[in-house]
Amino acid sequence: MNQYVSRRGSSRVAPRLRFPTAFPGGHRKPRRIAMLSVHTSPLHQPGTGDAGGMNVYIVELARRLAAINIEVEIFTRSTAGGLPPVVELAPGVLVRHIDAGPYEGLAKEELPAQLCAFTHGVMQAWAGQRPGYYDLVHSHYWLSGHVGWLAAQRWGAPLVHAMHTMAKVKNAALAAGDTPEPAARVIGETQIVDAANRLIANTAEEADELVRFYDADPGSVAVVHPGVNLDRFSPADGRAAARARLGLPKDALIPLFAGRIQPLKAPDVLLRAVAVLLDRDPTLRSRMVVPVVGGPSGSGLAKPEELQKLAARLGIADVVRFQPPVGQEQLADWFRAASVLVMPSHSESFGLVAIEAQAVGTPVVAAAVGGLPVAVRDGVSGFLIPGHDPQAYARALARFAESPELVARMGAAAAAHAQGFGWDTAASATADVYTAAMHEHRRRVRPLHV
């Protein structure tokens, strides 16, 4: 353990630590892994319910792992009757549906009570296989981590876990009126950190948070930046063509919000900033469109029409367009059509949407939180805003309104920046983490057998 890292209960603050970006080595990589995603299926449409960036992450990572000869079987909860037990997502990637609780109407907060049933289903799927069928377990989010903890122990395999978001971090940056994460989740995450052989963090800041908030061993944490599908998210035929396909004005200022509509993502900050901007310059109203692409999620489900009502109260309902969640191909067109993507989130483990938008050549205005300072090059591919003051976001948007050439200049820099975030690189680094976890696990287990 690093000498600066305190044990639980100590008030000492750890300085920023250096974390490996992977664990390279000349040992055997896994042949087949079990990937766990309890609360959201990789087959679900991102932007609906609890489906978001993590869904994209799992799908893209699994595809790229299979391409380097690591078979992936993804276990997820059945959310509809009649789903086939097994679906081939791609060559070398299977999705296994597990019955655990009612198919529909089960909130994420109710899922801990179904973990026993889910674990039983995973064990049943494994029971017919030979010993050592899975070389490793990779769990995503804390609910999956608890299943992975038991499965890895039962199978004699190492556990690699990715938090994606953390309760203590979210609770430290709650949006006004949002609901804190429960103590049960905090305890559960702490247990998973202790149990996992390796932890994958999206950024160095997230790795620091694992050490600072959960007392993770820095030697077990690897930083692997998520990737972006550079084939799908590319400039393609440009902004004008995308606007024509979506029925948007050719010369409008279009600040876009894309994602789940909930207080954590703070779409209200964009609407308030637009109201400030139009109050300062009413002439913008005739040449501004503000698309909000996504559906209510999480605590946003309590008031699903709250954002529409806010637009009306602010007097900007005429410029705001609410669009339901769309598939990845059409989402890429929305990014191309936008003048700028706005991400005022209160917390983001990485901010995959920011990289996707930049990959098509669209700059980003984002909160300087979580992984967004890694995803966005401040002053080059976009602007990072400290805090969530609508006035600050309005000033950033005004720069694009006053200097339309800024969209093209920053957009070109954004596309170049995004080239460093391909999924092939992320998959290769993740495979290195797997290899190191397997090597260490064998080294620990072998003396016990002797």
Among 305, 58, 105, which Cα is nearest to 200's?
58
Q: For strand 93-98 and strand 86-90, is the pairing parallel, antiparallel, or unpaired? A: antiparallel
Is the pTM value of this prediction over 0.75?
yes
Q: DSSP of 193-231, one letter per residue?
A: HHH-SEEEESSHHHHHHHHHHH---GGGEEE----B-TT
Q: Which two tokens stand for residue 404?
A: 């339309």
pLDDT in tens, the chain (450 residues): 333 333 333 333 344 555 666 555 557 889 999 999 998 888 876 555 555 678 889 999 999 999 999 999 999 999 888 889 999 999 999 999 999 988 877 777 889 999 999 999 999 989 888 889 999 999 999 999 999 999 999 999 999 999 999 999 989 988 877 889 999 999 999 999 999 999 999 999 999 999 999 999 999 999 999 999 999 999 999 999 999 999 999 999 999 999 989 898 999 999 999 999 999 999 999 999 999 999 886 665 656 689 999 999 999 999 999 999 898 899 999 999 999 999 999 988 888 999 999 999 999 999 999 899 999 999 999 999 999 999 999 999 999 999 999 999 999 999 999 999 989 999 999 999 999 999 999 887 655 444
Identical topology for domains 32-227+423-441 and 239-418: yes
Annotated binding site for UDP-N-acetyl-alpha-D-glucosamine: 45-46, 53, 260, 265, 326, 348, 356
Annotated binding site for 1D-myo-inositol 3-phosphate: 39, 50-55, 108, 141, 165, 185
Q: DSSP of 91-141, one letter per residue?
A: TTEEEEEE--S-SSS--GGGGGGGHHHHHHHHHHHHHTSPTTS-SEEEEEH
Residue at token pair 């019955």: 99
Q: What is the pLDDT of residue 13?
A: 37
Q: What CATH homologous superfamily does 239-418 map to?
A: Glycogen Phosphorylase B; (3.40.50.2000)
Q: What is the pLDDT of residue 18?
A: 59
Cα separation, 122 vs 270, in Å, equals 42
Cα separation, 343 vs 368, in Å, equals 10
Among 293, 303, 305, which Cα is nearest to 259's?
293
Q: What is the pLDDT of residue 301?
A: 61
pLDDT digits (tens, 9 = 90+) for 313-335: 999 999 999 999 898 899 999 99
Q: What is the pLDDT of residue 271?
A: 98
Among 96, 92, 57, 89, which Cα is nearest to 75's?
96
Q: Which two tokens stand for residue 195?
A: 């149990």
Spell out the domain ranges in the chain.
Answer: 32-227+423-441, 239-418
Cα separation, 77 vs 102, in Å, equals 10
Cα separation, 147 vs 38, in Å, equals 9
Cα separation, 348 vs 407, in Å, equals 24
Cα separation, 196 vs 194, in Å, equals 6
The CATH number corresponding to 32-227+423-441 among 1.20.1260.10, 3.40.50.2000, 3.40.50.720, 3.40.50.2300 equals 3.40.50.2000
Q: What is the pLDDT of residue 254?
A: 98
Annotated binding site: 39, 45-46, 50-55, 108, 141, 165, 185, 260, 265, 326, 335-336, 338, 348, 356, 362
Say how many residues make up the chain. Answer: 450
Q: What is the signed CA dihedral for 320, 40, 232, 344, rounded to 10 degrees?
A: 40
Q: What is the pLDDT of residue 300?
A: 56
Contact assessment for residue 426 and residue 62, using Cβ atoms and an 8 Å cutoff: no
3-state secondary structure of 320: strand
User: Cα dist. 24→100, 318, 433 in Å?
Assistant: 37, 54, 7
Among 287, 279, 271, 308, which Cα is nearest to 401's?
287
Contact assessment for residue 161 and residue 145, using Cβ atoms and an 8 Å cutoff: yes
Q: What is the CA radius of gyration of the chain?
A: 22
Judge residue 55's burial from the number of C-beta atoms within 10 Å of its C-beta, 0-12 exposed, 13-18 middle, 19 or more buried.
Answer: buried
Annotated binding site for Mg(2+): 335-336, 338, 362
Percent helix, strand and coil across the chain, each to the nearest 5:
45, 15, 40
